[in-house]
Structure 1
């Protein structure tokens, strides 16, 4: 049985996840690389002897290129060519239809748009995922390993030879004819012919530049060039450091179906049939097609597929073409496979427990499902024949498509989604403005770690939190003080003489403040009770104001606890060891409170007594008041733009904290010699605090009852604060 931490999360030991990937294409290797860099144990199983894409180029738009760069792969260093323009020619005449200079447009995008040979990208990903260099443990590649069965629930792969292997997560990156996706309920989708097929081939750039008929077409190396007719098109762009030009000739499938005997990428095409299909294109286009090497000419069907009901099931996720096969009309097929792999790694940082995998896959799907299918929709629209677009009243908005496609970072997007998920799981996290950055560390959640974590205990042990508290208890007017009490609060005694205390605490060695500390000084009114809606009473001390001299505790205390905190400079000067002290309360040089304590002597605790005094005897005097169980205060948050109105207001109670286990007993010193001097100030000298200073200065003083100094280790974080009613 797995133990749980106080916040309800699993305490299962963290270790690298064992992740099994089916398929060693671009999607598979990207996923392996991203997961390797997260620190996981990754194995890749490829059915062929050497999985490698050949004979074609691929688009790496900003959205995909940025992810590769994040992982350390610079496409420019493997022959990638930056796309600097788009030119469309009229197919029949060869005249320019339009030109776009994307070199200026590229300033919009964080990363360049590269055009790269698929084989070069595939090899680079393979080397980075499986090579000895780089972050994390090298992924292990198993070639000639044909998967026969996928057990999503048990994360088990079974191979044709009868052997099997198990892990914590299965990833199906096995392409358009994926076996893995059939293990997802409703996922036994079969790809179908989209109605279009494509010839593909490469030509040396110099072959085109040396021919007067084609030289003009490659005069601006780096441009994406297109000829788009009613139902067929030719696309050309450079790769391999501008030395090669990649060609994709898309046309109705029925016109080349005789060449296609299988469903793969390596079917040899007929050059004569290709020339016939494009016979009505301009002479410059035909001159290009004539140069194709028929022995290297390939033809394949452009396959489409119905939308998967899900990309995940139990401990299985599918990525790339296994999840969403793409038509080539937006150049996003490879890019979306790259996004899938990186997003999957983003939800599985090192430390993710096997029991958390299924929940993390849900986040992966939420981040990928809608986006992948939306881009698929754009791609289908971009590939429609002119007549079909007109018949359906549809228009292409390529700039809108590009904006959505390029303007996304799957890592940033998914890590934010994971952050929100983890925050929702942790019931002890504290939030306060600015909330955009997520949960805030503070005294009740130091360093962003769980309060019970071993690291926090180690820090507190190495730098123990210490406090010294001076308190001066004095007599004053109950009728004056009661004007401070909100509805529901009252003095327990009817006497017109009440007790209150000025209490000043200086803290040091605070783990949540990097070992530093701060001081606080407040007015505490004794003998208060609060009557709840059910008629029951709670007894305690009321805190109307607490001054502190550091921003962080003021902000956290106001936001997380609702305490009535204000800023002031607090100077504590100790004289003659522990025997006397002088405390001043000021704001930017204006002092409005001075307190002295002298003649302190060590107080010996007496059993059954209170504050070291023997218990009093019962007599004809009134019975003693109920013991004070904690501290009251009132939370008030003003409404923005509506002066005098509150967004929320309610009373709060903090029970007295129990002594922390293992801490030293506090040392207490007592005295009868103490002074309190409070001065009212005008708004010029004390602009933000004069109303408080004036009230304090007018408070009647009937004499000091006692003064104390308590030195202790271990500091309460007030996490017991709770709303009353």
Structure 2
């Protein structure tokens, strides 16, 4: 019985969500998929909204894909360029090819989608019959009068009281649930700016010579930014509609605002007057607007906390966002998914206060930091100069996009659970007595005539199979020990499963063995003096012979474990497969197909060609210098304490004179799959294989088969410091 089976008889939590906006519906979907019973209470009748689009950057888009929604299927447009023109003369200021940069950095594309279409899709996923878990129940026209955070209950204005296990406040900037949190009596205030918003058919702009240039590049986000006002345009609905937001000082349109809501109708004449000094092409665009909407951009002082008792706030109820970086909806989605990640089926009602504390730890600093970035990005140039601030949009974008709230929160939960168990320990087998070191027979130097004779009579050979794939930086970061980090700023990371079969090993009497491990590329280690070493990190290595496991752990500090490894290579240029098992329990399978001969390229330390460098975006990462691993030796009889832990580094070896790769084949057709099993079938490996099974694989980069003479001497491995 695996973990999911163990939890299948657990009572689902009864979760009440106040608010059916993007955050509330995303939470309903994620919590439903975790196996819980969800009810949503929405004060409105959810009439169809018009006239707005929304950004879904990599950080949010990846979460929606995890939930099962590909927004391109509902008309979303991938953002391919960011363009800024000077507002008064219309000259090009800059244009950035964000798709090319994004393909290198981000695990998921940046999409632009009509808000109403996204909302409809989320509502169907939350309440529809299809999908994992029981459909959420949506109650419309249900205005909340009172929220009881200690008992997770709400009282509606008609007097109805509803009791749950957890209460989620997703009721927006004018939240009624927020006041139930100590310090939650914050009131939103006018930020000093307001915005007109409207949609124009792309064809109407393309057919007008005055405006055609603005829509010449499909997928382009375009801006005209002046001192205290700006126009921003981007596409949605399969590039057939252009969404506009025209931000300006509130005082110039405040007489037109009566209620301050999203559906206030603004004055087109007022809008034309406010932007009268802009380039004629911009004024020609504004002339095409029909019934623009107008609303004040509201801000709010930071909340002291997002949680209290059994109540957790998400989205604008917790942290209202100005629109200057397009992260408001994305942060609501992050909140929703983070909360659900911390509440797997099997969570008891008594666990909820502790779980939502972890939720706040995961979300408080990040959401407030992006909120502050957004405020800075929206300031006028004179304000920035007066405050001594500078805009660093690359810093903001890297921080905003470079996150996976699900992986981050799951890791936080795992660490919390481990800390609560006093018996949890990290084990590492130790050797005893003298033993032969890796690649070195006991008592004999490699240059000894006996060793040389053995190597001549039966040369050492290696056969290597490797699959390199794209993955999530956030998930893989969780596998890195202290001191390690990714060198690239993107959410996209690269890793490999590599399997090698060795034969003719002199230190094993002419025999051999196989090993297979997970290698994480593009990693650096920061030393105490601040300098960095760049390389690949070996997170786990399975081997099928005890001797190299014992010596490799004791003398090299490598994370070696036992597994049966079966390698099958089906003929010259044919398919090959690798199976990993423990006492007959299959837990890993690698398959490589359509191998073809390839000219030998520059190959890195784990058998992969170096990625191309250059092009737009951040500068290329420094070349990798070798292989990292991490030695951990627990203290005997003292769970949680350690006798030794430190980074180990194996520099890249110069090619040996005897090394002679006789064959190199390559392909892009490969697959990697791990099955976690359970504590009965994989009693000592379950936690590790479970982690491997959860490694996201976004696509295969390459697979290689190499066969050659000579085996690298690993005795150069050294403690870093």
Q: Which deviations, in whole Å up to 9, do the C-alpha atoms of 1:198-235 show, x marking residues without a partner? A: 00000000000000000011000101000000000000
Offset of residue 394 of structure 1: 1.3
In structure 2, what is the Cα distance between the partners aligned to 1:636 and 1:368? Answer: 31
In structure 2, what is the Cα distance between the partners aligned to 1:15 and 1:341? Answer: 21
2:385 to 390, 393, 396: 390
In structure 1, what is the Cα distance between the partners aligned to 2:386 and 2:396? Answer: 21
In structure 1, what is the Cα distance between the partners aligned to 2:295 and 2:321? Answer: 14
Map of 1:56 onto structure 2: 52
Secondary structure, counterpart of 2:321 in structure 1: coil
2:175 to 173, 178, 182: 178
Larger Rg: 1
Answer whether contact 1:431 1:438 (CA < 8 A) is retained: no
Answer whether contact 1:53 1:122 (CA < 8 A) is retained: no
Answer whether contact 2:74 2:118 (CA < 8 A) is retained: yes
Answer whether contact 2:61 2:110 (CA < 8 A) is retained: yes
Offset of residue 639 of structure 1: 9.0
Secondary structure, counterpart of 1:384 in structure 2: coil
Map of 1:334 onto structure 2: 329
1:416 to 411, 414, 421: 411
Kindly indicate whether residue 57 of structure 2 is the aligned counterpart of residue 37 of structure 1.
no
2:289 to 281, 288, 292: 292
Offset of residue 429 of structure 1: 1.9
Map of 2:244 onto structure 1: 247
Kindly indicate whether residue 404 of structure 2 is the aligned counterpart of residue 406 of structure 1.
no
Q: Which deviations, in whole Å up to 9, do the C-alpha atoms of 1:36-82 show, x marking residues without a partner? A: 11110000000111265432000000000000001110011110000
Map of 2:464 onto structure 1: none
Kindly indicate whether residue 371 of structure 2 is the aligned counterpart of residue 370 of structure 1.
no
Map of 1:88 onto structure 2: 84
In structure 2, what is the Cα distance between the partners aligned to 1:21 and 1:261? Answer: 29
Answer whether contact 1:29 1:125 (CA < 8 A) is retained: yes
CA pair 437-377 structure 1, distance change in 2 beyond 3 A: closer
CA pair 353-252 structure 1, distance change in 2 beyond 3 A: same
2:161 to 164, 169, 185: 164
2:197 to 200, 208, 213: 200
- TM-score by length of structure 2 reads 0.60
Which structure 2 segments of 5+ residues have no match? 1-6, 430-475, 481-543, 556-561, 563-636, 649-721
Q: Which deviations, in whole Å up to 9, do the C-alpha atoms of 1:446-471 show, x marking residues without a partner? A: xxxxxxxxxxxxxxxxxxxxxxxxxx
CA pair 53-343 structure 1, distance change in 2 beyond 3 A: farther
1:279 to 247, 269, 276: 276
Q: Which deviations, in whole Å up to 9, do the C-alpha atoms of 1:220-268 show, x marking residues without a partner? A: 0101000000000000000000000000000000000011101210000
CA pair 223-424 structure 1, distance change in 2 beyond 3 A: same
Offset of residue 106 of structure 1: 1.0
Offset of residue 348 of structure 1: 0.3
Which structure 1 segments of 5+ residues have no match? 1-10, 440-547, 560-566, 568-631, 643-725
Aligned residues: 454
Alignment of 1:554-593 (within 5 A): none
Kindly indicate whether residue 21 of structure 2 is the aligned counterpart of residue 25 of structure 1.
yes
Map of 1:130 onto structure 2: 127
1:345 to 328, 340, 343: 340
Secondary structure, counterpart of 1:307 in structure 2: coil
In structure 2, what is the Cα distance between the partners aligned to 1:371 and 1:362? Answer: 15
Secondary structure, counterpart of 2:344 in structure 1: coil
Map of 1:704 onto structure 2: none
Q: Which deviations, in whole Å up to 9, do the C-alpha atoms of 1:350-382 show, x marking residues without a partner? A: 100100000000000000000000001100000
Offset of residue 165 of structure 1: 0.6
- RMSD (CA atoms): 3.3
In structure 2, what is the Cα distance between the partners aligned to 1:377 and 1:180? Answer: 23
In structure 2, what is the Cα distance between the partners aligned to 1:103 and 1:272? Answer: 37
CA pair 341-436 structure 1, distance change in 2 beyond 3 A: closer
Kindly indicate whether residue 306 of structure 2 is the aligned counterpart of residue 311 of structure 1.
yes
1:427 to 414, 417, 422: 422
- TM-score by length of structure 1 reads 0.59
Answer whether contact 2:152 2:166 (CA < 8 A) is retained: yes
In structure 2, what is the Cα distance between the partners aligned to 1:329 and 1:41? Answer: 36
Q: Which deviations, in whole Å up to 9, do the C-alpha atoms of 1:588-642 show, x marking residues without a partner? A: xxxxxxxxxxxxxxxxxxxxxxxxxxxxxxxxxxxxxxxxxxxx9xx99689899
1:357 to 352, 356, 370: 352
In structure 1, what is the Cα distance between the partners aligned to 2:349 and 2:149? Answer: 14
Secondary structure, counterpart of 1:225 in structure 2: strand
CA pair 220-432 structure 1, distance change in 2 beyond 3 A: same
Offset of residue 433 of structure 1: 5.4
Answer whether contact 2:411 2:478 (CA < 8 A) is retained: no
Answer whether contact 1:155 1:170 (CA < 8 A) is retained: yes
In structure 1, what is the Cα distance between the partners aligned to 2:61 and 2:289? Answer: 30
Answer whether contact 1:226 1:234 (CA < 8 A) is retained: yes
In structure 2, what is the Cα distance between the partners aligned to 1:636 and 1:227? Answer: 58
Kindly indicate whether residue 96 of structure 2 is the aligned counterpart of residue 100 of structure 1.
yes
